[in-house]
Amino acid sequence: MPLPEQETRYTYKQYLEWSEEERWELIEGVPCMQAAPSWQHQAISRELIIKFGNYLKGKRCKVFSSPFDLILTNEEDEINSKNVFQPDLLVVCDPSKLKGTGYVGTPDLIVEIVSPSTARSDKFYKFNMYEKFGVKEYWIIEPDIKLISVFTLSDNGRYGRPEIYSEIDKVNVKVLKDLEIDLSDVFDY
What are the pLDDT digits (tens) for 72-115? Answer: 987 777 777 888 899 999 999 999 999 988 999 999 999 999 98
Give the pLDDT mean for 152-167: 97
Element holding 39 (H helix, E strand): helix 39-56
Q: List 65's β-bridge partners, or say none.
A: 89
**Calpha distance 143→113 (Å, rounded):** 7
Instruction: Give the least confident one: 51-55, 122-126, 136-140, 152-156.
Output: 122-126
Structural domains for the chain: 12-186 (3.90.1570.10)
Whether the per-residue pLDDT at 26 is higher than 80: the answer is no
Tell me the pTM: 0.82
Percent of the chain residues topping a pLDDT of 90? 65
Nearest to 173 by CA among 160, 188, 185, 163: 163
User: How sure is the predictor about 2, in pLDDT bands with cuts at 50, 70 and 90?
Assistant: very low
pLDDT of residue 180: 97
pLDDT tens sequence across 129-158: 999 999 999 999 999 999 999 999 999 999
Whether the per-residue pLDDT at 4 is higher than 60: the answer is no
pLDDT of residue 5: 55
Whether the per-residue pLDDT at 19 is higher than 80: the answer is no
Residue 176 sits at the vertex; the CA angle it makes with 115 and 39, to the nearest 5 degrees, is 25
**Calpha distance 139→150 (Å, rounded):** 5
**Calpha distance 48→54 (Å, rounded):** 10
**Calpha distance 3→134 (Å, rounded):** 20
